[in-house]
Structure 1
């Protein structure tokens, strides 16, 4: 079954077998299909990488669908339906460690946020959470963060960074009470 549009047979796209296997796991975790293996987390979806194959699935279509699945899995977890629902609120150190482990996909079509600017800003957020800075980042700083867009050089996927920052703003509001 083709879940996504395919690229031309002379061009490489994501391996359909790998993508379909991941989607089956996601749908099982969301209750939209039979459970297929361990319940999946949003971080596992973010970390997913696929081999390429001539005539495979169109990368942009798959990436957009995965972004929607990440939101659905996070919402299900927050509502008590996912694997992390029973866990207590993470500590500031756990949030800081999650930020340090964050990995963003490369921007598509040779365009994305400047990696150095994003990394520097996230380092400031980590220092804020650990209380090791004299210039703490506020939730408003996170919401208003802007980064240069790079073209034809390595950059982070814009939508993925924006989604991550929106989550961080909520974390800082909770942790800092602002």
Structure 2
């Protein structure tokens, strides 16, 4: 029996063996198995699987990984709160949020490094529009879900923003959002 629904035999999905192996390792890590791997919420956010025809449904696996990331983040938050206290936990989240806001305070079109004109990067207008929403979330308390941050996509553009920088900022935003849940 499969853990997740499968894509059709001709459509790509995540390699079932890789997904199953990762989920077993994640269970051992969550249960505190000393012989198991040490995983964090960030590790779960960055996991990638090979694509194979007839593999696991990417939508179902991604949803499960988001729930798993939330569970690991909650445990990490609780562990830090127990060892360092609530004030330290929230101060760390506040500091990260301020770093994000400092980056987003830069002028539109210049918030991140740009790739060369011959290289594709994230569309600057798309990123800047989403960045403005993030500023409103942090400064004005406008509603935004962690899923919106996790699933945002940007068109490609020659000479666009450097993808790695944008992705790192989005990871930081996710960390802050999970920290203050």
TM-score by length of 2: 0.54
Counterparts in 2 of 1:75 and 1:2: CA distance versus 1, 3 Å: same
* Aligned match of 1:21: 21
**Hey, what's the Cα distance between the residues in 2 that align with 1:29 and 1:66?**
14
Q: Which runs of 5+ in 1 are unaligned?
A: 101-113, 126-135, 155-159, 172-178
Alignment of 1:74-113 (within 5 A): 74-80=73-79, 86=83, 88-89=88-89, 90=92, 92-95=94-97, 96=99
User: Conserved in 1, the CA contact under 8 Å of 2:15 and 2:52?
Assistant: yes
User: Conserved in 2, the CA contact under 8 Å of 1:5 and 1:57?
Assistant: yes
Select 1:119's aligned residue among 104, 124, 131.
131
Give the stretch that moved more between structures: 37-46 or 4-13. Answer: 37-46
SS of the residue corresponding to residue 79 of structure 1 reads helix
* Aligned match of 1:8: 8
Structure 1 or 2: more helix by fraction = 2
User: Conserved in 2, the CA contact under 8 Å of 1:25 and 1:36?
Assistant: no
Displacement of 1:9 in angstroms is 1.2
Q: How many residues align?
A: 134
* Aligned match of 1:130: none
* Aligned match of 2:114: none
**Hey, what's the Cα distance between the residues in 2 that align with 1:169 and 1:91?**
6
Q: Which runs of 5+ in 2 are unaligned?
A: 104-125, 157-169
Displacement of 1:5 in angstroms is 1.2
TM-score by length of 1: 0.54
Counterparts in 2 of 1:144 and 1:93: CA distance versus 1, 3 Å: closer
SS of the residue corresponding to residue 141 of structure 2 reads helix
* Aligned match of 1:167: 177
**Hey, what's the Cα distance between the residues in 1 that align with 2:35 and 2:58?**
23
**Hey, what's the Cα distance between the residues in 1 that align with 2:26 and 2:153?**
32
**Hey, what's the Cα distance between the residues in 2 that align with 1:118 and 1:12?**
29
